[in-house]
């Protein structure tokens, strides 16, 4: 079964935070609205996606997220609720899943799509964005294409929405980088993916791959980076600006800082597992930011995560918070349908600057 999207009837081309490109899912002529709901869509290359997607890193990851196969029925309910409420973008990777569960996230997504009981049109409009790891043994374009075919086999799909290069090898294996780029071109030309994107690319490498792909007749659809109130340094802002100028959609992963921006944790109340080490370092310096998030949430009758995700949307990005429970889907959906005011945005950004705690940047992100 091919996963595709409907051709849009009209859309706005601006990528600025105050004028997101919207597509109404109703039969009536679309018009600009001040807020975003899941059933309104944004343009991402040739695709039409919800203004927020969901990440599936936890699906199969035992080490960091405590996944057990007994959770699969709950994950399926989580997926169904998201799709029924207008979310059609799901991010995954061929490396998601630990040990023998490698690739489990893709397998589960494919299974949940096939078994979805709702309208077929909704099912067909689901967009899977998967990432292909730049493993050291993937040295040729053909090997990268085979990685894409393996993902298609795991998900039992005919075509992937967005095929993404998970990280750049420019820092440590520059010769491999060009082969991976050629692999993206090949999977696009073979029709294995509808669009291509990158992940963890810094500003300089992002411009390079955009220009390289453009010369080969392949548009760069998306760039995925860690972007949140905890991760908005000079590189991230430059990446966002480059995306805006080149027509690339910025996908914000970890919009809640692995959970540090949920308000659920304190220096004396840490999550289980490896995250506790990171939280112990950063949380003590987040008090100004968390206080501002809490204040705005109370005023808005929202939750802290909803405010933090809405901030990402107001920056013109598509956030992909991770979900593994129905409760998380319900809460994250509350980030849509409203927008922070300009004063609230300034308050949060001032608080972020005042907070000494900052997210550690992904070691794979290039300059």
Please report how many Cα atoms fall inside a 13 Å half-sphere around the Cα of residue 47, on the Cβ side: 31
In the numeric block, the tokens 């992904």 are attached to 362
Cα-Cα-Cα-Cα dihedral sign, residues 363, 133, 56, 85:
positive
Measured CA to CA, the distance from residue 351 to residue 356 in angstroms comes to 10
Rounded to 10 deg, the angle between the 342-354 and 304-314 helix axes is 110
> What is the secondary structure of 279-305 as a DSSP string?
HHHHGGG-HHHHHHHHHHHHHHT--HH
Instruction: State how far the Cα of 232 lies from the Cα of 313, in Å rounded to an integer.
Output: 14
* CB 59, CB 104: distance < 8 Å: yes
Give the list of residues 6+ apart from residue 112 with CB closer than 8 angstroms, or none.
Answer: 75, 76, 79, 80
For residue 236, give the DSSP letter: H
Q: Provide the annotated active-site residues.
A: 96
**Radius of gyration of the chain measured on its C-alpha atoms:** 19
Asked if residues 41 and 47 have their Cβ atoms less than 8 Å apart, the reply is no
**Alpha-carbon gap, residue 149 to 106, rounded angstroms:** 12
Residue 85, helix vs strand vs coil: coil
Could you tell me the two tokens for 303? 């939750």
Q: What are the φ/ψ torsions at residue 252 (nearest 5 degrees)? A: -95, 110
CA distance 11 to 146: 35
- What's the length of the chain? 367
Residue 191 makes CB contacts below 8 A (sequence gap 6+) with 159
C-beta of residue 30 within 8 angstroms of C-beta of residue 37: no
């Amino acid at each position: 079964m091919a996963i595709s999207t409907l051709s849009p009837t009209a859309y706005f081309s601006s990528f600025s935070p105050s004028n997101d490109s919207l597509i109404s899912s109703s039969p009536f002529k679309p018009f600009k609205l001040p807020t975003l709901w899941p059933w309104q869509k944004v343009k991402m290359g040739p695709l039409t996606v919800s203004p927020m997607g969901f990440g599936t890193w936890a699906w199969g990851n035992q080490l960091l997220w405590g996944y057990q196969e007994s959770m699969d029925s709950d994950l399926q309910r989580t997926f169904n609720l998201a799709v029924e409420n207008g979310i059609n973008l799901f991010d995954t990777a061929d490396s998601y899943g630990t040990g023998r569960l490698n690739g489990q996230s893709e397998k589960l997504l494919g299974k949940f799509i096939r078994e979805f009981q709702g309208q077929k049109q909704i099912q067909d409009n689901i967009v899977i964005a998967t990432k292909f790891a730049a493993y050291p043994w993937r040295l040729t374009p053909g090997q990268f294409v085979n990685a894409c075919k393996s993902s298609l086999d795991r998900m039992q799909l005919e075509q992937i929405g967005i095929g993404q290069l998970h990280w750049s090898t420019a820092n440590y294996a520059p010769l491999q980088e060009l082969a991976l780029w050629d692999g993206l071109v090949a999977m696009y030309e073979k029709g294995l993916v509808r669009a291509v994107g990158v992940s963890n690319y810094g500003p300089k490498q992002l411009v390079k791959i955009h220009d390289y792909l453009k010369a080969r007749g392949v548009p760069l659809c998306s760039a995925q980076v860690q972007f949140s109130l905890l991760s908005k340094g000079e590189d991230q802002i430059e990446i966002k600006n480059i995306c805006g100028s080149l027509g690339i959609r910025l996908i914000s992963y970890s919009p809640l800082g692995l959970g540090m921006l949920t308000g659920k944790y304190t220096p004396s109340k840490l999550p289980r597992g490896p995250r506790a080490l990171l939280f112990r370092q950063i949380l003590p310096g987040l008090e100004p930011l968390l206080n501002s998030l809490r204040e705005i949430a109370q005023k808005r009758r929202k939750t802290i995560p909803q405010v933090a995700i809405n901030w990402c949307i107001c920056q013109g990005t598509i956030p992909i918070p991770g979900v593994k429970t129905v409760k998380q889907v319900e809460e994250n959906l509350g980030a849509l349908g409203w927008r922070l005011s300009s004063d609230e945005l300034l308050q949060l950004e001032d608080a972020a600057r005042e907070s000494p705690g900052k997210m550690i940047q992904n070691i794979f992100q290039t300059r």
